[in-house]
Amino acid sequence: MAENKSDQLELKFVLNGKAIHVNAAANLRLVDLLRKDLGLTGTKEGCAVGECGACTVLLNGKAVNSCLVPAGQVQGCEVMTIEGLATDGKLHPLQQSFLDHGAVQCGFCTPGMLLSAYALLQVNASPSVEEIKEALAGNLCRCTGYKQIIDAVRQAAG
């Protein structure tokens, strides 16, 4: 299954629940593949060095910084971006809760925050405030002061 070495990649992976097959340059990062090649601009690039979490996506269910994943590493994986959170146009409870709690100001951190929160709730349905903070520690927000975000996650957890 090793590709022949090449500066082009043929990638087959599952994106937001659908199997896709794309060709891409080998020097792309996942964030570039998503935003530029696939037009999914919900994933943001904040720092390019894995410190801000704005680029967070789920890779095989786990939150990762897509600015640190070379595109070739998604081969055979499942990727979930913010565009995959709402289903059939209906907001996920987390998204609704963020709106209800005023947890979105400029919105730049929001896609990453939602996906980190979503990943948390998949493994821990009733997280404590401390657990929420730890799960979101890699997502920086310059606007809200975090309180609304934490409240929103707590409520969505129910």
Binding region for another protein (CB under 8 A): 1-3, 5-7, 9, 26-29, 32, 48-51, 53, 56, 59, 62-65, 67-73, 75, 116, 133-135, 137-139
Identify which of residues 54 and 104 has a Cβ nearer to another protein in the complex.
54
What span, in angstroms and rounded, lies between the C-alpha atoms of 83 and 87? 9
Identify which of residues 21 and 90 has a Cβ nearer to another protein in the complex.
21
Identify which of residues 37 and 100 has a Cβ nearer to another protein in the complex.
37
CB 47 within 8 A of CB 54: yes
Burial 30-46 (b: 16+ CB within 10 A, else e): bbbbbbeebebebbbbb
- For 133, residues 6+ apart whose C-beta sits below 8 A from its C-beta are 146, 150
CB of 105 to another protein, least distance (A): 21
CB of 27 to another protein, least distance (A): 5
What span, in angstroms and rounded, lies between the C-alpha atoms of 22 and 48? 23
CB of 1 to another protein, least distance (A): 6
Identify which of residues 66 and 148 has a Cβ nearer to another protein in the complex.
66
